[in-house]
Structure 1
Amino acid sequence: MKKAEGSLRIAIVGMGPRGLGALEALRALRCEGDAPIRVDVFDPFPASGAGPNFDPDESQLCLLNIPHRDISIRPPEYSRIGSFANWLPHDPDPDAFPARADLGRYLEDRYEDLRGQETYRLTRHACRVDALKRDGDGWLLQVSDQWHGPYDEVLLTLGQPKVCPDDQLAEWQQHADGSRGVLAQAYPAARLAEAAAEWSGKSIAIRGMGLSAFDVLRVLTCAQGGRFENGRYIPSGREPERIYPFSLDGKPPFPKPATQEIDERFTPTEAETNAFTDAMPKAAEADVTTAKLLINTAITPVALRVLSEHGAEASADRVLDWLETEWDQPGAQEEDGPLDTLLSGMALAEAKAPPTIGYTVGQLWRKWQDQIRAGYNPAKTPPDTAKALLGFDEGLKRYSYGPPLSASRELRALIEAGLVDLALATDPEIETVSDGWALSKGYASATVGVMVDAVLPSPDLGAVRTPLVSQLLEEGPLTPLAEGLSADTAADGRIIDTQGQPAHGLCLLGRLALGSVVAADSLHDCFGEASRRWARGVLDRQTSHP
């Protein structure tokens, strides 16, 4: 197939926030008078710019884990769409956490704004790409039995594709097909709410106690007519009889600081941030031992200052001991049970208790997310160091990615109302029975007829069921950075093949590149430097290969 004459031609596979961020970055770097870029977008999901995670049709009960005051995904200067706060029809409470659906509609508008830009000739294909192959200097994309292209550049922004279920989930799927038990997914929440209307009076378990579990709890209660009022839950009578959330450690995540004033207690000084900014790229390129030392040395004095200023007893040795444990056994420092963890987290978020080392380190890590990505993502990180840094980041998410305080208060109210029971929260024994699942832990036990899976799968390339990813793994050039990590990519997103060479014009951004990049789950990362590096790479390659 011969390439058509004309301007640069790009294909973007997946048009959620990351695909949108990449297009905006490319538009921002183009010069006035440049020939329009021909862009074909391939995505079967209808909400371009939003994607499934921010589906505009999703339940309003599903909230971001970022308050309005921290949403800084401002559009480029050329855009006709303002900031999210200005786009809303009302002035938002800066401490409130918006609905994901509202943000999705905003991102849709940003995509529509791009369609009106003269920089692009934008064509959307509401279909899935099944395969990809080289065609001379370009790439061809297969959709069903048709090939599209050739394209000078292909960008894969696939988000979280479908994966093969883990062993436990696969067993449960088979069990649900042959028993009276029901296995449901947390999302789409609107679909879960419809199904939950038939579960009144049943006992339900939730697999996972992360952010998704809070959405599930609202669907099982508020979406069934209940409401929270003055710190209490007022039931409608259509709720399940009992809800049993559980996870490996049984501990809910810690809520973020309740107000901007409390949050500012954890803000590092400019000099402290500069020191961390200097340490991060060095750590990313170092061996594991050196990387840990550099990160610990940058964090310890800042954490110690915050703790001392706000009434906590701490020493440099105690902070270092906490950090050393966190590298090897994240969460092992915390011995509280599920309920005490919930209550202590609320007290920390409200500043009713002095900050702990963990809460302080977690908030600092959250505030340094841009510096973490800026130092790590362009670096060529040794695989063992990548595993260590990603594990450290993942462990700290119980603090840095915490829910709004309101979600923790809702959980407490549901416990006090007798709807939620945490007696089986910590890694219970689970057996399949004819009526569903039998859970037990110590002297506590329960049989549930419904199991809701609220666990986000890991971005293991080998488990991905998307045909395109499977094909690229089998035939190349896609390869994992190392066992247990995701795709090997260059700083500008180009896929690194099995020979260690970057594939010309074939790039991947986002979660499926974890290991090559860090903190890719953040919404802000979609509109950050990763997208700009990709855009600069595209334009540089166009210049060098006219």
Structure 2
Amino acid sequence: MAIIGMGPKGLYALERLLAQIKYNTIDQCIEVHIFNADENFGSGNVYAKNQPSYLIMNYASSNINAWIDETPKPIVQQPLSFIEWLKENKVDKRSNSYLDFAPRAIVGEYLNTVFKELVSNSPESISYYFHPNIVADIKKTGDKFQIKEQSDSNYLSDKIDNVLLTTGHLGAGADFISEQPASSFINFVYPTKTKLKDVKTGKVVIRGFGLTCIDTVLELTEGRAGIFKSGSSNKMKYLPSGKEPNCIYIISRSGLPMFPRNSSEEEIERLVYFTEENIEAALKLSFVDLFLPLIKKEFYFQYYKIAFKIKNLELKFDEDFETVTAQVTEFHSKFPEEEKYCWDQLIDPFHGQATIYNDQLIEYLKFLISEAKKGVHASPIMAAVGTWRKISPIFNKYYSFGRLDAKSHALFDRDYFGLFNRLSYGPPIINTEKLIALAEGGLIDFSRVRNAEIIHNKKNGYELILDKKSSSFRRNAENYDTGKIKIDTVIDARIPRGIDRRPKSLFSNLLTKGLLRSFKNKNNGYYEASAVDINKSGKAINANGTLEDNLSLYGTPTEGVTLDNDTLSRTRNNFASIWAQNVIQDIQNKNKQNLFNNTINVH
């Protein structure tokens, strides 16, 4: 069998496979081929253990656990959660900082340790074959598969009974540029030390304003010997080394940053409107008509629950939402100075502005930090945006496998997936503080963060311009040097959802030959997601509409059919356990068939 992609998801699948082999006393010889883009088995590129310490998680250490609490138990005698492993191996008694948000490299070291433990504790009947290379293609001959690596023109001679695809992201597309010289265009930043080492000290544009953007910024500043220091007023300042780019421009579709999160990783207590009971009572699973109104009500209630608490009052829940809004109206009549909740203001405080000015965005980042430091139990706005983290697991049940109607599915993918990620899954506060320090020091320029585009031509190279269609561009062209800025390097820091469809990529090849097919939501309409079709066990559905019983997907390749796979989660969209059970069942069935055939031959 083969596992293609040995990052966290591949690791989890291997763990369940070994647990099932031991539990079912499978003692026959089994070959396990493990493919990974490089030698970071267990961690993958994003969590590679050779990364610098300033690249830190946005996921609390307390949530990380490579082991799952289910039967059969792991083959390792003392499986340690990340926190337990940290306390035994990494945490200095004088500092517990890793117990909040750890460096990504430390998480990678933990995952790599788990991988080594699994391999070393495996039954002797298992033979491992490690392939540190990108898989370019798979072909099926009869009921077996053959795999071709990117560095080889031929398929490997080994014939594989069962394949699991858990590949992560290898890069973003380049849809906004017609030509991409390798020296000045970077489409994937991990590992940052390697991918960004040749970026010149000129003007840089980063496309995307998420977590990958922050990692990129830190690599180009702190990674080049710059130093962040806190002054007497706890205001962070940046001391440049002179090796940084002259200026870093950040651009994105919304032009808005992610909400930072505090280290306590607090969560709201419970949902009151967005409940399965209310959803199941609906006749139609429409995002606009059902889910969005419930989401808005929940955000509203959680916001005012904290606003009331701050004034030593209690907002009383009522199924009749007008009863709640009446309490809020009375609240504001008593406290007119208190900020009123507004959905539109929450999701875009610069609504209606074609451009966002540098100083505006810096002040907004400072506001977000002040609220994040209060946490969800003391900041109404953080309680509101933290609501999505509670909603997401429930919504996933109705999003997955086309339960939403086609129009709703398309709308959520286009307009709301990114929005909720921005509101609820942002960076640790310290990383936002670093962005502010860099902007105030002039190394980051936010003036083009919204309504800007990159153009490329052979004569002038890359140029950053404001959207010519916007009134702001026409009004401010003179102030922006006729709207054009010459750029030396373009970095795509967006992480695409779903599968990589670039020509000659693995998934493109598998779609072309019909081993996979695109997922099409035909529920009261039509929508083709950036995903491949699978059944509820994670098994691939081929171009003929039949199951590929021995070709399964898990993690990133299932996005678009499932929602938010959460790379480090053992329970979210857990196809690993199902896959391992199916592999064992297949082995047992073949053993029974062989025993039957041998019995027939004897007689």
1:444 alignment partner, one of 477, 480, 488? 480
Q: CA deviation at 1:518?
A: 0.6
2:83–2:99 contact (8 Å) kept in structure 1: no
2:138–2:146 contact (8 Å) kept in structure 1: yes
* Deviation sequence 1:455-484 (CA, Å, 0-9, x none): 325346573345432222112131121323
Specify the SS of the correspondent of 1:28: helix
Specify the SS of the correspondent of 1:244: strand
AA paired with 1:71? Answer: I
Q: Give distance in 2, aligned partners of 1:194 and 1:130.
A: 26
Q: Which residue of 2 aligns with 1:18?
A: 9
AA paired with 2:365? Answer: L
1:500 alignment partner, one of 541, 545, 549? 545
* Deviation sequence 1:354-401 (CA, Å, 0-9, x none): 6455x4343122245555546655775554443344453332001222
Cα 1:375–1:107 shift into 2, 3 Å: farther
AA paired with 1:57? Answer: N
Q: Give distance in 2, aligned partners of 1:278 and 1:184.
A: 47
Cα 1:95–1:375 shift into 2, 3 Å: farther
AA paired with 1:38? Answer: E
1:437–1:447 contact (8 Å) kept in structure 2: yes
2:554 alignment partner, one of 470, 486, 509? 509
Q: Give distance in 1, aligned partners of 2:143 and 2:196.
A: 49
Q: Give distance in 2, aligned partners of 1:466 and 1:308.
A: 57
2:186–2:490 contact (8 Å) kept in structure 1: yes
Q: CA deviation at 1:506?
A: 0.9
Q: CA deviation at 1:487?
A: 1.0
Q: Which residue of 1 aligns with 2:185?
A: 183
Q: Which residue of 2 aligns with 1:255?
A: 260
AA paired with 2:146? Answer: L
Cα 1:279–1:379 shift into 2, 3 Å: farther
1:211-360 paired onto structure 2 within 5 Å: 211-230=211-230, 231-256=236-261, 258-260=262-264, 263-264=265-266, 266-269=267-270, 272=271, 276=275, 286-288=285-287, 289-292=289-292, 301-302=301-302, 304-310=304-310, 331-332=347-348, 335=351, 337-351=360-374, 355-356=379-380, 359-360=382-383
**Identity between Structure 1 and Structure 2 (%):** 23
Task: Say which one has the larger Rg.
Answer: 2
Q: Normalising to structure 2: TM-score of the pair?
A: 0.74
1:11–1:151 contact (8 Å) kept in structure 2: yes
Q: Does 1:103 align with 2:121?
A: no
Paired residues, number: 516
Specify the SS of the correspondent of 1:54: coil
Q: Does 1:46 align with 2:45?
A: no
2:75 alignment partner, one of 70, 75, 78? 78
Specify the SS of the correspondent of 1:21: helix
The unaligned stretches of length 5 or more in structure 2 are 231-235, 316-321, 329-339, 467-472, 521-527, 593-603
1:27-46 paired onto structure 2 within 5 Å: 27-30=18-21, 31=23, 33-35=25-27, 37-46=30-39
2:139 alignment partner, one of 133, 136, 142? 133
Q: Normalising to structure 1: TM-score of the pair?
A: 0.81
AA paired with 1:194? Answer: K
Specify the SS of the correspondent of 1:503: strand
2:165 alignment partner, one of 156, 160, 179? 156
Q: Give distance in 1, aligned partners of 2:449 and 2:407.
A: 32
1:133–1:140 contact (8 Å) kept in structure 2: yes
Specify the SS of the correspondent of 1:132: strand
Cα 1:101–1:277 shift into 2, 3 Å: farther
Q: Give distance in 2, aligned partners of 1:536 and 1:72.
A: 21
1:251–1:342 contact (8 Å) kept in structure 2: no
Cα 1:292–1:82 shift into 2, 3 Å: same
Q: Does 1:69 align with 2:67?
A: no
Cα 1:494–1:296 shift into 2, 3 Å: farther
AA paired with 1:450? Answer: D
Q: Give distance in 1, aligned partners of 2:239 and 2:343.
A: 44
Q: Give distance in 1, aligned partners of 2:386 and 2:576.
A: 25
Q: CA RMSD in A?
A: 3.8
Q: Which residue of 2 aligns with 1:3?
A: none
1:365–1:400 contact (8 Å) kept in structure 2: yes
